[in-house]
Amino acid sequence: MQDQHGIAPSESAAAPAAGEPDHEAIIVGAGFGGMGAAIQLGRLGLTRLAILERGGDLGGTWHVNRYPGLAVDIASFTYSYSFAPNPHWSRMFAPGEELKRYAEHVADTYGLRRHMRFNTVVESARWDERARWWEVRLRGGETLTGRYLVTATGFLSQPKVPDLPGIGTFAGKVVHSTDWDDTYDLTGRRAAVIGTGATAVQLIPVVARRVAELTVYQRTPIWVTPKLDAPIPPVVRRLFARLPVTQRAARVVNSTVLEAIMVVGVLHYRHARLANRGAELLARAHLRRQVRDPELRRKLTPRYSFGCKRPTFSNTYFPSFTLPHVRLETSPIARVEPDAIVTEDGRRTEIDTLLLATGFDLWETNFPALRITGRDGLDLGGWWRANRFQAYQGLTVPGFPNLLSLNSPYSYSGLSYFTTIEAQMRHIGRLFGELRRRGSTVFEVTREANDAFLDRVTRLLGDSVFTLGNCAPARSYYFNQHGEPALLRPTATLSTLREAGRFPLSAYDYA
Ligand code: NAP
């Protein structure tokens, strides 16, 4: 099978020649990021790849998350690789299991499975200066070597379990949204959900339909706008399959609208405050239409500017709180007891099921997700923390030759994770093209290029809602422990993609 560029999946891996590393590239993570990198490296002619995955199967987020209600919250026309359109999505916002099947389909189409090793935890990686390759150590002691190291470990991959007093004493069932127990029957339960982020917004309406009582513990409300969702009729799916240009057109329209809502008004807040205000008004009107009780509405209304924290889309979230057996609790949790949650106002709510939609730890454990030691013993996590979090074009770091760190500071290009991946694939293509032209095997971004990029994103972020809006009450994971919004890349999606294909080749040293 060939992709739409007419490129066949890479040939079977050959054994390494003497003096060569075990693999041309080692990719950590078999989610959409790692698979995108593998596809690109395959197109560039690298055949000896290892894709190491700690989970039992491929798909990353879409393998791990199986909670009820799981679906994309960026419409599927946009939330997919542009080079591998899927005409078979059942809805505009496809359910989670379709994303998992899509990941499997992509892996099969591009022959990626043979490179994958599951249940394989990478603990550390060290640049071997003499051999000029990476030495990667696995849990259990095995060591692999690879000329290039690609970390594709995701942003949202280290689940956060809240450190609430007494949580360990809870005698009922505890389930984190990333570790859903499909065998656990919610029918008739007295359940609590902690958290009101994008996961909870999807989970709560489904849980509310099944349980006898539901208390939702909200610390920070979330901006929610209407979800323009509908099944995609078979006739349209057939049209997408026969005339792919029609699906590409749907992608362009959807991406343009999303760019206006989720990117322009957030990143260009100084000049596009009205776009941001418009999105906020839309969310307020949505809440007013769905919730009549002014007190409940007040509790559900965020006190921070739209976009400080990831907004989401739902038509069923707000109405859940109007059901007689569902209660929104906004008093902070004081402690958890074996059969109850007690809030600071003294209220004790008996529960038998505790559902944690408490999100992920990004900045403490995830940057990076494994110990990475570059030139001269430089530790990436330590360096990021001692200096500022930074990476050239959100991808490469000085002092770390031949490292492509996909989930780096300033890498996330706001529209959809696929935009980020595809920009990075393009960057890799240009970089490796130059390596080949020079007959080099080692690249390293220069300090000057890295510093200039950091200065530039810092300056651009000065125009964003993160700097000019009211973000302090948002508790947003976009901000790191130093209060810097170091996750999102503050450039428009199109310019991110354009730059990935045009960055100055002098940004790198080659050897
Ligand atoms: P999240 O946005 O980080 O939300 C976690 C929630 O748990 C927040 O409401 C947080 O409150 C609360 N929380 C955490 N610790 C707490 C504690 N100790 N006490 C009380 N409350 C606590 O995580 P998420 O909802 O899993 O979503 C993460 C991201 O995943 C989203 O932003 C989105 O990008 C992505 N996502 C995508 C989809 C999709 O496309 N289908 C679906 C779900 C998620 P505070 O806000 O006060 O900290």
Please give the Cα distance from 162 to 358 (Å, whole number): 7
Does the beta carbon of 198 sit less than 6 angstroms from any atom of ligand 1?
yes
| Range 125-131 average pLDDT | 97
Centre of ligand 1 from the C-alpha of residue 44, in Å: 38
Same domain for 385 and 345? no
Centre of ligand 1 from the C-alpha of residue 204, in Å: 13
Model pLDDT, residue 308: 96
Does the beta carbon of 219 sit less than 6 angstroms from any atom of ligand 1?
yes
Please check whether residue 478 lies inside any domain of the structure: yes
Q: 81 near 99, Cβ under 8 Å? A: no
Please check whether residue 3 lies inside any domain of the structure: no
pLDDT band at 5 (very low <50, low <70, confident <90, very high): very low
Same domain for 183 and 317? yes
Ligand 1 atom 19, closest CA = 162
Percent of the chain with pLDDT over 90: 92
Same domain for 136 and 172? no
Centre of ligand 1 from the C-alpha of residue 359, in Å: 4
Q: Collapsing DSSP states into helix, strand and coil, what is residue 337?
A: strand
Element (H, E) at 283: helix 273-290
pLDDT band at 503 (very low <50, low <70, confident <90, very high): very high
Out of 215, 358, 481, give the residue to mutate to test ligand 1, the one with the largest number of ligand atoms within 8 Å of its CB.
358
Atom of ligand 1 nearest to the CA of 358: 7
- Six token digits for residue 415: 């529209």
The 10s digit of each residue's pLDDT in 16-29 is 887 899 999 999 99
Does the beta carbon of 72 sit less than 6 angstroms from any atom of ligand 1?
yes
Does the beta carbon of 358 sit less than 6 angstroms from any atom of ligand 1?
yes
Cβ neighbours of residue 1 under 8 Å, at least 6 residues apart? 8, 9, 109
The 10s digit of each residue's pLDDT in 301-345 is 999 999 999 999 999 999 999 999 999 999 999 999 999 999 999
Out of 178, 199, 312, 475, give the residue to mutate to test ligand 1, the one with the largest number of ligand atoms within 8 Å of its CB.
199
Same domain for 180 and 317? yes
Centre of ligand 1 from the C-alpha of residue 50, in Å: 32
Statement: residue 165 has pLDDT above 60: yes
Centre of ligand 1 from the C-alpha of residue 406, in Å: 22
pLDDT band at 291 (very low <50, low <70, confident <90, very high): very high
Model pLDDT, residue 19: 84
- DSSP-assigned beta bridge partners for residue 145: 135
pLDDT band at 13 (very low <50, low <70, confident <90, very high): low
- Six token digits for residue 181: 């127990």
Same domain for 83 and 36? yes
Q: Minimal CA–CA distance to 412: which of 309, 476, 488?
A: 488
Same domain for 401 and 485? yes
Statement: residue 10 has pLDDT above 70: no
Cβ neighbours of residue 256 under 8 Å, at least 6 residues apart? none
Task: Cis check for the bond before 368: say yes or no (omega within 30 of 0).
Answer: yes
Please check whether residue 249 lies inside any domain of the structure: no
Centre of ligand 1 from the C-alpha of residue 311, in Å: 11
Q: Minimal CA–CA distance to 380: which of 361, 367, 392?
A: 367
Domain span at 58: 9-157+362-510
Statement: residue 7 has pLDDT above 50: no
Query: What is the tally of structural domains in the chain?
Result: 2
Crossing angle for the helix pair 32-43 and 96-109, to the nearest 10 degrees: 20
| Range 424-438 average pLDDT | 98
Statement: residue 414 has pLDDT above 80: no
pLDDT band at 264 (very low <50, low <70, confident <90, very high): confident
Centre of ligand 1 from the C-alpha of residue 199, in Å: 6
Q: Collapsing DSSP states into helix, strand and coil, what is residue 207?
A: helix
Same domain for 72 and 109? yes
Model pLDDT, residue 11: 44
3-state secondary structure 385-398: HHCCCCCECCCECC
Please check whether residue 474 lies inside any domain of the structure: yes
Model pLDDT, residue 258: 84
CA distances from 211 to 109, 182, 217, 274, 504 (A): 41, 15, 16, 41, 57
Cβ neighbours of residue 53 under 8 Å, at least 6 residues apart? 29, 30, 34, 116, 117, 118, 119, 120
Statement: residue 262 has pLDDT above 80: no
**Angle CA(64)–CA(70)–CA(73) in degrees, nearest 5?**
110
Does the beta carbon of 199 sit less than 6 angstroms from any atom of ligand 1?
yes
Same domain for 421 and 324? no
| Range 422-442 average pLDDT | 98
Atom of ligand 1 nearest to the CA of 71: 41
Out of 207, 219, 330, give the residue to mutate to test ligand 1, the one with the largest number of ligand atoms within 8 Å of its CB.
219
Please check whether residue 2 lies inside any domain of the structure: no
Please check whether residue 35 lies inside any domain of the structure: yes
Model pLDDT, residue 14: 64
Does the beta carbon of 310 sit less than 6 angstroms from any atom of ligand 1?
yes
Model pLDDT, residue 281: 97
| Least confident stretch, 53-62, 232-241, 272-281, 474-483 | 272-281
Same domain for 422 and 325? no
Centre of ligand 1 from the C-alpha of residue 141, in Å: 35
| Range 401-416 average pLDDT | 93
Please give the Cα distance from 201 to 70 (Å, whole number): 10
Cα-to-chain-centroid distance, residue 143: 28
Same domain for 284 and 347? yes
CATH number at residue 446: 3.50.50.60
| Range 236-248 average pLDDT | 96
